[in-house]
Amino acid sequence: MGKALRSLAELRVRPSNDWEAGDIRVQFFLIFEPKEKRILEPAEIKEQFESVLKGLPWQGGFLPDDPLVRIGDYDDFLARDYVESFPLDVNALSFAAAYSQEQTQD
């Protein structure tokens, strides 16, 4: 998964409606680095992310959208897609998971 992440300029998530709504479908945008900086091919990157995301235990009103993952470079997304989505900081997500595990062990 590390090579896939390093091939991305940005990882973003777009909710189907307000985060406070009951059921929220989420879609992930994988925005690629320029071709010369990518470590993996787009199809392989998408496959890795879909595998991980489909394995998540969706809960709390969050559901995967269809399609769950959209891929491309900045030119492939509409301005609306970008404005209505939120950046995901992979480092912060990793830290949060590690912190959560530490708390359950105490």
- Note the pLDDT tens digit of each residue in 52-99: 998 889 888 889 999 999 999 999 999 999 999 999 987 765 544 444
Q: What is the edge-to-edge ordering of all strands in the sheet holding 8-15?
A: 62-72, 24-32, 8-15, 86-87
The predicted-structure confidence for 68-78, as pLDDT tens digits, reads as follows 999 999 999 99
Other C-beta atoms within 10 Å of 16: how many? 14
Closest CA to 69 of 93, 92, 44: 44
Domain boundaries defined on the chain? 2-105
- Report how far residue 16's alpha carbon sits from residue 44's, in angstroms, rounded to the nearest whole number: 26
Q: What is the pTM of this model?
A: 0.81
Q: What CA–CA distance (Å, rounded) separates 26 from 65?
A: 5
